[in-house]
Amino acid sequence: MEHKILDRLYVNKRDDFKRLLEKDSPLVGYDYKHIFMLALTIGFVEGRRAELESRKEELTRIEYLDDKEKSIIKAIAVIETGGLEVLLDKKKVYAVAEEYAAGGIKLLIQKVFSGEYGSFIKRLGNELEERLKEIRGKSYNGSKN
């Protein structure tokens, strides 16, 4: 495989991510890194992990991610690989994230464009409330799984 320095994030179809930044999208004006994080976490929750066909479709730079975003990516890699050792392998950490983002982007597009434009913020807020209730019901009560 072609060797590249680990400073960028790659996806299968950049245009899918770009679609969410167009003028009819409620996410217009946001950055690719936001779309990446949304797609990644949706992909993770829904168990949609897609192998990257090639590493030619560059999306954004890793340096644009803030510490918390990087931390979420690492946490997903830890759970995915079953151990903290993965943190020594940054290439693997970001490869897991790229694959989930590639798997989750279609679901995100569906989610964003499924309702009316003006209702997106409300829907999003409600969905997060629901998700949190679900997590609390399942596992989160201040104690671990």
Q: Which residues bind to other proteins, rule: CB under 8 A?
A: 18, 21-23, 26-31, 34, 37-38, 40-42, 44-45, 67-69, 71-72, 74-76, 78-80, 84-85, 87-88, 120-121, 124-125, 128-129, 131-132, 135, 138-140, 144-145
Residue 103: its H or E element: helix 90-113
What's the CA dihedral at 141, 40, 78, 80 to 10 degrees? 100
Residue 34 CB, nearest approach to other proteins (Å): 6
d(CA 76, CA 79): 5
Residue carrying the six token digits 């495989």:
1
Residue 71 CB, nearest approach to other proteins (Å): 4
Residue 61 per-residue DSSP state:
E
Residue 43 CB, nearest approach to other proteins (Å): 9
User: 6 vs 30, which CB is nearer to other proteins?
Assistant: 30
Residue carrying the six token digits 């936001």:
34
Tokens of 65: 């991610």
Residue 52 CB, nearest approach to other proteins (Å): 19
Residue 84 CB, nearest approach to other proteins (Å): 7
User: 26 vs 103, which CB is nearer to other proteins?
Assistant: 26
Q: What is the largest CA-CA distance in the chain?
A: 46
User: 12 vs 42, which CB is nearer to other proteins?
Assistant: 42
How buried is residue 132: exposed, middle or buried, by Cβ count under 10 Å (0-12/13-18/19+)? exposed
